[in-house]
Amino acid sequence: MKSLADIKLASANKSMNKPIYVTQPYLPPLAEFIPYLEKIWDNKILTNGGPFHQQLEQALCDYLGVKHLALFTNGTIALVTALQALRISGEVITTPYSFVATAHSLLWNGIKPVFVDVDPNTLNLDPARIEVAITPHTTAIMPVHVYGHPCDVNAIQKIADNYNLKVIYDAAHAFGVQDEGGSVLRHGDLSVLSFHATKVFNTFEGGAIICPDAKTKQRIDHLKNFGFVDEVTVVAPGINGKMSEINAAFGLLQLKHIDGALARRKEIDATYRQQLVGVKGIRCLNDAGEKLVNHAYFPILVQPDYTQSRDALYQKLKDHGIYARRYFYPLISDFPMYRSMPSAQHANLRVANDASSKVLCLPIYPALRPHEQQRVIDIIQGA
Ligand code: T4K
């Protein structure tokens, strides 16, 4: 028979060897979700703008400090719909350094993406390079607040105003981020959030469009419901982008826990910085000067003077059960449906290519335990 000490040791070893992923969704105690489910079972409203959907829209407006917000089934459909809401066509300037959904939302609307390089400090779209990419067909700019760090919103807005362009921010990573004036989501014509399982705030799948006025919100609400205005009137070829009641209910519960989850992310971020600062060849990406940081990701850039290549470190971590991710490698502009475009050529995207070859996102999520984080750090320090 095994002694208690043996059992304890075996269980400690088991937990030591548990795989560590780049992220893990925050899940509140299951018991707290049951009353929400009971309400859904009672009233039998499962979707189509039910009570939880309405409550979550209001609760998110209050929490984020924005005026109007339309919930969606996911961030990608929200991006596709945002472009439709503003009737964007022709060419849109965007970044290659993002998740592929950013540019895919343009292709889904028959719009040509024009890739512009990123800023070496923030890895966000570089405003200094936007103007030369503008043509008579350009109608909008779609920047991304990469890793939740705000773009240079003032410089981008200035260019948009000069050339009469719309700005739609892919703010998939920027839940809760604030600059000196308030929510970063207030900038541009529209901003789009993702509430995917891997995001700071999740509703399993989900997303939202943030818009400045009630009229635009109404158009977005029509577009996410097939274009229906009433039982017999369809005003646009809308899509089914509605969030279900079960996702909305989960969002309401998540909101109760979000501040604790963000605080834990902050601690993990601080520990990484403290312990990796002295490691030769490892650069931690800084924030972009935002007042409230959400610590959605922890990207490091593995420089040539590190003891091994980014991919060797990625593999070494993997060999130890640590699944860091190369967000964003490959660049969107290197995927087959984009790579023949003139703007996708490497010479046009030197900074993005360089970052994409060096970046590694380390595990960061509220349930990451100190000894698990230390395993990650030890490997990077000792590699
Ligand atoms: N714009 C930007 C800038 C985005 O980053 C995204 C999404 C979008 C637009 C589109 O928004 P959505 O339509 O997704 O709402 C993940 C996510 O699927 C994707 O939402 C996210 N960006 C992207 C950056 O990351 P993958 O393919 O890397 O996910 P996956 O399944 O490999 O998950 C990563 C790790 O997370 C897993 O190794 C384990 C953990 N995980 C994942 C899931 C799904 C869990 O522990 N539980 C889970 O349920 O794309």
In terms of domains, do 97 and 138 share one? yes
pLDDT digits over 240-284, tens only?
999 999 999 999 999 999 999 999 999 999 999 999 999 999 999
d(CA 58, CA 208): 12
Structural domain that includes position 321: 259-382
Give the confidence band of 16 by pLDDT, cuts at 50, 70, 90. Answer: low
- Residue 179's CB is within 10 A of a number of other CB atoms, namely 17
Q: Considering 218, 253, 288, which residue would you say is the last residue of a domain?
A: 253
Looking at residue 17, its pLDDT comes to 73
Write the residue with the smallest CA distance to atom 23 of ligand 1.
99
184 and 235 belong to one structural domain: yes
- Sort 321 into a burial class: Cβ within 10 Å, 0-12 / 13-18 / 19+: middle
Q: Where residue 218 sits, what CATH number does that domain have?
A: 3.40.640.10
How many helices (H) and strands (E) would you count in the chain?
Answer: 11, 16
Q: How many domains does the chain have?
A: 2
Report if residue 21 sits inside a domain. no
Ligand 1 center to 220 CA (angstroms): 24
State phi, psi for 69 to the nearest 5 degrees.
-145, 130
- Best residue for ligand 1 mutational test, from 196, 202, 297 (most atoms within 8 Å of Cβ): 196
User: What predicted TM-score, i.e. pTM, was given to this entire model?
Assistant: 0.96
292: DSSP letter: B
- The two tokens of residue 320 are 């130890």
Is there a domain that residue 16 lies in? no
Nearest CA among 17, 2, 26, 5 for reference residue 364: 26
Residue 9 lies in a domain: no
Rounded-to-integer distance, Cα 96 and Cα 75, Å? 18
In the predicted structure, residue 41 carries a pLDDT above the cut 50: yes
**Is residue 176 domain-shared with residue 153, that is, in the same domain?**
yes
Residue ranges of alpha helices (H) inside 151-203 are: 153-163
Instruction: Give the binding-site residues of ligand 1, using a 6 Å CB cut-off.
Output: 21-25, 74-76, 98-99, 101-102, 144, 170, 172-173, 194, 196-198, 207, 323, 325, 327
Between the alpha carbon of residue 118 and those of residues 152, 294, 380, the distances in Å are: 11, 21, 27
* Last residue of one domain, picked from the residues 185, 218, 253: 253
